[in-house]
Structure 1
Amino acid sequence: MSLPCSWVAVLVVLVGTEAAAQPRVDGRRKAEQVIVLRAGEALAAHVLRVAPDAATLVLFDAPVVRESVDSLSLQSFERAEVTERSLVLRPAEELRPGTSLRLTVRFADGKAPRQVEFELTSDPDAVDTQVEVRRGEKSEAQLVAALAELRGRCAVTEAALAPLRTRCARAGLAGLFVSGELDREWGVTAHRPERRAEAQGVRDAEQATVFRTGGTVMVGMGLENPLGQRPWAADSARLVRLDAEGRPLEEARRLPVALEPERVGPGESAWVAVQWEEPLEAPAAAVRLEVMDAHGRGLRWERLEIVPAVAEPPMAPRSRGRKVAP
């Protein structure tokens, strides 16, 4: 089968762009690969380079049997998620040099080849961030259909990115002002509550500061991950709004967490922020706030006062991944 010259040109441009960009994470090159399985070929193990700095996503073109994956062999992984069509892997720490882990995934339809074998290894220079597993090569008609679908998805994505680009262009205080998110009369107020967080498995590196502008409230804090601990990454924040007597005003809600850097290694620190909107007609006097990872490690305030009062907010450094004293 031969492809039209225009397709070849598109593929050359895409491959060239990928080679030139060479995205990296913590010094490793982020790689993608396609594994094609053919009936009648001898079963061989396909190498997957995994790392704690990035998740490896494996996509299957046919449903797989989730129970066929040995979960016990992956119990030390920070992420090991299996669905009908995908597999997500992220070890909690580096695999030991010279060692590997075998993993078998079986297809649900029973057609040949019935399964795929993986060999999980660690490579200091590269990590596989996306892997596609296909059984047999696609026909020209299938490639045309896939290309049309991809173009449609790109058009939808481009339309969704347009307003985001506009918002990103209005960054900083100037962006807040012109967007109306900044209180034009009072600006931004800040205060630092006296009560510090209860630390669980981490350290409270910087006392929390509450920032307010209009109905927007943001709590910023510093967090340290002690040496000898597993990497820390925020799962989500749990917030309960309280009245002046400490009674809940509503049910607990989950909020996204902004983290810089996004993953805190042992002996490193990070800046953490949680933001929400307070109704101006019935604002809370305080909140109960938890910022935890998936293992229950993080910071907790039983009562964090959010009454605004002018104070000196902490200055976040521009450097990433600050090292802390053991």
Structure 2
Amino acid sequence: SPSSVELPAEPTGSVREVCISPELPITFRFDSPLVPGSLELQDRERFEDVSTGTRSFNILPPSDLQPGERFKVVVRFADGAAPTSAAFMLVGHPALGTRQVDVFRLKRTVEDYQRENQEERKKSQRLGQELERMRLEKGPGGITGLIASGLMAMKDQSVKAEDITRGLTQPASNALGTDTVISYRSTTRAANVVRVAVAVRLKNPGTQPWTVRDAALMGKGQQVTPVTMLWQPSPILPDTEKPEVVVVEWELTDREARGTFTLKLWDESGKRLVTLGNVTFP
């Protein structure tokens, strides 16, 4: 689904960051007309295509976009009302690129805007602390928890499981090698909602330990699906014969879980990437 941004009437001094990925087009849509020709894009020549409309603009990031690269983009509104312009910081990411951003201008005071942000930050902080406490006390849940606790082996058939190792596609640029890849599917109490997971054993041919930072699942024509649960028992050390397991899990509708997907895993730097194509769920 599109990302939504609300612009306060008065500037706050902050610039909203938006993730972009190589060759994944992104569209910005506004609820007000733009000044023709007002688009300012930092290092515009780096981008493969840039086009503007009356209330939108489209950008196609370069194929050689690097994780963490940053480009500022600014547009001005044609009606003269506050806010008179909008600025965003485009940040390179290997997988979590946004496809569409809907921008709304709101006539609210700075105090209202700041108070709401403070309340949301406090709420998010409390939830994060509670989730971390529960995670430390109970460990992960779902399919991931079954594997982590040893109650279910990777090839256990109590949940639908499939060895998809042979059918995978992998670029030569992958930072780690794969040993075994198993996909899983289980039902939930909610109608037409399923849990799916991928457990992958990885070997590290590099010189530095590797720890997964995040993951994303991408289906054809679908929005990137961030991970619901992620588990790795220990860093994957270099030059060891024993592969280490990483488990990623999502909650999807039954319809969303059909078809073929690409799974991307990356470390803290965002540069040591593992891409697995042709991922399917049983």
Give the TM-score category using the shorter length.
Answer: 0.3 to 0.5
Larger Rg: 1
TM-score (norm 2): 0.39
Larger helix fraction of residues: 1
Indicate the structure whose relative CO is greater, using CA pairs within 8 Å and at least 6 residues apart.
Answer: 2
